[in-house]
Amino acid sequence: MILLKRLRFQSLRWLLLAPLAMALAACSTGANSTNPASFPSVSADDSTAYVAAGPAVYAVDLDTGNQKWFYPAKPQADLTFYAAPTISEDGIVYVGSYDGSVLALNQSGAMIRKFGADGRVVGSPVVSGDLLLIPTDGGSLYAYDRHSGEAKWPDPFIATTDTCGPDDKTPSCSIWSAPLVDGDTVYVATLSHVLYAIDLASGEERWQAPLNAAIADTPALQDGVLLTGVLGNSLVGIRAEDGKEMWTVRTAGWLWGSPAVADGTIYFGDATPTWWTTKDGVGNVYAFDLSGHKAIWQKPTAATSTSPVIAGDRLIVAFENGQLIAYDLSGNELWHKAALGPILADPIVADGKVIVAVTSQEALLQAFDSTTGASAWDYLPDENG
């Protein structure tokens, strides 16, 4: 995605590193770029995993791994799905497409509403009560009433800097991650090196925080501080109240994912760019003390461009080479599994299982027991899907 949102478009991430660096300096690519190849991303509710995978969205039973439904019934040339679907409390599945739309699907997989936007939807849409927030690589954030489809802000929020924005002569300030809602504020990260705070009711900007590099994923919010990984070898703490930079910790590689937080400790992984391959890249998994901003432990690993997930007393980390490792929170390895292909999207934990979307001809989803790492099931779309 030139391309970024964790630039996880398989081996293109590092092969396009030099052009990417130039693109990032100019606020990344515009909304009218040719659609890149997609890789699968997964989310889940209590009973079902939903995976966005190129031309279709699939619903898979969490217990058995059996397919429940898929959308659309027949491929449509203008639909390509990347971002992990979002599931509302009333069971509606919202999924974004590269054609600049978000589709609302019911629990049978039928489309019940379509929402429009100005660019590709690369970051997941977000549901906040009756509000649906849609980020785009055109640098806009839309707010709709998710039931009626009515626009809730007079105009979409448009990210703008000195070098990017809505002007036709400059590239857009692309948004490739999901917005973060906290109370009456929504936080938006951009590839143009700026983190924004926006009033949820009006869509008006409250503050902006310029950083030293592109922000590829959603910040985590803890104790009034936005924990923001950047493609500049650092994790930055931004005060949520006013956007003031509080601290920066240096890392060996780029941070593509969001950090996880538990008991005052920040957990995250990085990836060091290489010219040759995604699969053989190197990285680290870190634990940092949130109050002192000091490293507690650091593990040299393969490259990871995903967000770690905490399951009870376990830290689950997925790596680009297809490895999946569970650590205890002290950094000791508990189990280690090899998936059937690269893992380029965030793992999730649901129904006592770690679910990963893989880039493979043998499986689209794989499920592992979160405690033991034992294989629970593999899913590959059937001939009708």
Mean pLDDT of 151-178: 88
Three-class SS state of 18: helix
**Which CATH architecture describes the domain 5-379?**
7 Propeller (2.130)
Does position 219 have pLDDT exceeding 90, yes or no?
Answer: yes
Neighbours of 32 (CB within 10 A): 10
pLDDT confidence of residue 298 = 97
Q: Nearest-CA neighbor of 368 among 335, 341, 343, 319?
A: 335
Q: Cα angle at 31 between 27 and 33, to 5 degrees?
A: 95
The rounded distance, in Å, linking the Cα atoms of 298 and 327 is 12
pLDDT confidence of residue 279 = 59
What pLDDT band is residue 123 in, cutting at 50, 70 and 90? Answer: very high
Mean pLDDT of 17-36: 36
What pLDDT band is residue 207 in, cutting at 50, 70 and 90? Answer: very high
Does position 24 have pLDDT exceeding 60, yes or no?
Answer: no
Q: Nearest-CA neighbor of 67 among 53, 78, 84?
A: 53
What pLDDT band is residue 34 in, cutting at 50, 70 and 90? Answer: very low
Mean pLDDT of 139-160: 96
Mean pLDDT of 176-200: 97
What pLDDT band is residue 195 in, cutting at 50, 70 and 90? Answer: very high
- For 372, the token pair is 């033991």
Please, which residues bridge with residue 316 across strands? 309, 326
Mean pLDDT for the chain overall: 89
pLDDT confidence of residue 27 = 37
Does position 270 have pLDDT exceeding 80, yes or no?
Answer: yes
pLDDT confidence of residue 384 = 64
pLDDT confidence of residue 4 = 41
pLDDT tens sequence across 63-111: 999 999 999 999 888 899 989 999 999 999 999 999 999 999 999 999 9
Its pTM stands at 0.89
pLDDT confidence of residue 161 = 86
- For 50, the token pair is 């939903």
pLDDT confidence of residue 383 = 61
pLDDT confidence of residue 88 = 98
Does position 20 have pLDDT exceeding 60, yes or no?
Answer: no
Q: What is the DSSP string of 70-112?
A: EE-SS--TT--B-SPPEE-TTS-EEEEBTTSEEEEE-TTS-EE
What pLDDT band is residue 275 in, cutting at 50, 70 and 90? Answer: low
What pLDDT band is residue 373 in, cutting at 50, 70 and 90? Answer: very high
pLDDT confidence of residue 9 = 39
Mean pLDDT of 43-61: 97
Mean pLDDT of 344-365: 96
Does position 22 have pLDDT exceeding 50, yes or no?
Answer: no
The rounded distance, in Å, linking the Cα atoms of 355 and 40 is 12
Q: Cα angle at 45 between 259 and 307, to 5 degrees?
A: 15
